Amino acid sequence: MEPNFWENKSKAEKILKDKKIYEDLIHSYELSLKQFNEIIDLYNLALEENNQTILRETENNIFELHKKIKKNEIKCFLSNEADSLNAYLEIHAGAGGTESQDWAEMLRRMYMKWASSKNFKCQLISEHKGEEAGIKSSTIKIDGNYIYGFLKSESGIHRLVRISPFDSGARRHTSFASIWVYPVIDESIKVEILEKDLRIDTYRSSGAGGQHVNTTDSAVRVTHLPTKIVVQCQNDRSQHKNKETCMNMLKARLYEHELKKKEQKLKSSEESKSDIGWGHQIRSYVLHPYRMVKDNRTNFESSSPDKVLNGEIDEFLESSLYKLND
């Protein structure tokens, strides 16, 4: 280790984080190889003795080992510049009032449940409630290993088909909400923001935070005029801290904007948000007349929408990563 290693704390922490990830991958590979050899030895012995019980056991062990190896393979796909970073996840309800706002809240819950199941830290940055139910928009920050890499393919329009709980006639409704994921950048990544390019507004918070927050203009909205990117934060009682969070989010959005340009994406974030409806959805969640979740890009399907909406989305994330690395 270099004598001045800890002089730049954020850089040192990133290096140590990467080192642990690589060490875990190598350790997992070595352990998988050892388990594979042990299974082969046990299988050959059971074959010689015609022990059907042990043969079935080795088949199950191979299946479990294959799942473990697949997860390590997925981690190897996450080698892009921003993949190792934490992520902001924005949710916006589409047209349709209460129906879409309720759907947006269901999606927010799904991602927070997923994060919780992985022991990732999840923080609600900003949220605007619907008049009757659900949310109009929400921004959450998720901290953990390779969050952006895992979640970046979730950006897009998500479609729900169900019998509406808000319709007295019990009719089927289709609702839309948009998801946008962008990385939380660290101090090692420099993004220039000019003061003249910003419009900063303060307003009264409408979300959680207690009576004090609701009686002061503590919430902050920052608009980057050249790109029309808007970020907002209301989770703190301090206007100063909310502004600081907004600036960090704006840097992240601008960095992600440049990443997308480098990757020659066809649509910018604002374009993809402009039409939250038919023909743009990346995934459909159907609860009636049949029950299925289908990703329209990978064709991966699940017949257990309740599990998916409860945060079990790993198979969708993995199938998207395989698709990206075809």
Pick from 126, 134, 132: nearest CA to 213: 126
| 264-273: Cβ within 8 A, 24+ apart | 269/155, 269/180, 269/182, 269/229, 270/227, 270/228, 270/229, 272/155, 272/156, 272/157, 272/178, 272/180, 273/92, 273/178, 273/180
Encode pLDDT of 274-302 as tens digits: 456 655 789 999 999 999 999 999 999 99
Q: Which residues contact 210 (CB under 8 A, 6 or more apart)?
A: 237
Whole domain around residue 71: which residue ranges?
5-77
Lookup result for tokens 């088909």: 161
Query: Residues 90, 73: one domain?
Result: no
**Residue finishing a domain among 54, 77, 100:** 77
Residues 63 and 109 in one domain: no
Q: Are residues 127 and 91 in the same domain?
A: yes
Same domain, 12 and 41: yes
Q: Domain check: are 123 and 179 in the same one? A: yes
Residue 168 belongs to some domain of the structure: yes
| DSSP secondary structure of 269-284 | HHHHHS--STT-EEEE
pLDDT category at 161 given cuts 50, 70, 90 is: very high
* Greater pLDDT, 209 or 162: 162
Comparison of pLDDT for 241 and 273, the residue scoring more = 241
Answer yes or no: do 98 and 173 share one domain.
yes
CA angle 145, 17, 126 (to 5 degrees): 45
Q: How many domains does the chain have?
A: 2
| pLDDT tens digits along 206-215 | 654 444 444 4
Whether pLDDT at 203 is above 60: yes
- Mean pLDDT on 72-99: 88
The answer to the question of residue 172 being in a domain is yes
CA 23-28-32 angle, to 5 degrees, is: 155
Q: Is the peptide bond before 289 cis (omega within 30 degrees of 0)?
A: yes
Q: Residue 61 has what pLDDT?
A: 93
Could you tell me if 166 and 67 lie in one domain?
A: no
- Same domain, residue pair 177 and 288: yes
Instruction: For residue 9, list its beta bridge partners.
Output: none
Where among 77, 105, 134 does a domain terminate? 77
Residue 305 lies in a domain: yes
208 vs 161, which has greater pLDDT?
Answer: 161
Q: What is the pTM of this model?
A: 0.76
Q: Is the pLDDT of residue 224 over 90?
A: yes
| DSSP bridge pairs for 301 | 294
The answer to whether residues 171 and 294 belong to one domain is yes
Is residue 270 scored above 50 in pLDDT? Answer: no
Look at residue 264 in the predicted model and tell me its pLDDT: 54
**Would you tell me how many other CB atoms lie within 10 Å of the CB of residue 126?**
24
Residue 196 within any structural domain of the chain: no
Q: Is residue 227 part of a domain?
A: no
If we measure between CA atoms, which residue out of 166, 170, 162, 116 comes closest to residue 140?
116
Residue 218: inside a domain: no
Query: What are residue 222's phi and psi, to 5 degrees?
Result: -120, 125
Which CATH number does the domain housing residue 152 bear? Answer: 3.30.70.1660
Whether residue 234 is contained in a domain is answered as: no
Q: What percent of the chain has pLDDT over 70?
A: 90
Q: Do 119 and 184 belong to one domain?
A: yes
Joined together, the tokens standing for residue 162 give 């169900």
Q: Is residue 255 part of a domain?
A: no
- HSE, side-chain direction, 13 A CA sphere, residue 230: 10
Is there a single domain that holds both residue 166 and residue 296? Answer: yes
- The whole-chain average pLDDT of the chain stands at 87
For residue 261, what pLDDT is reported? 74
Task: Select from 24, 56, 77 the last residue of a domain.
Answer: 77
Lowest-pLDDT choice from 91-100, 121-130, 209-218 = 209-218
Give yes or no for a contact between 163 and 188, defined as CB atoms under 8 angstroms apart. no
Does residue 102 sit in the same domain as residue 69? Answer: no
Q: Give the highest mean pLDDT range of 72-86, 213-227, 244-258, 287-301.
A: 287-301
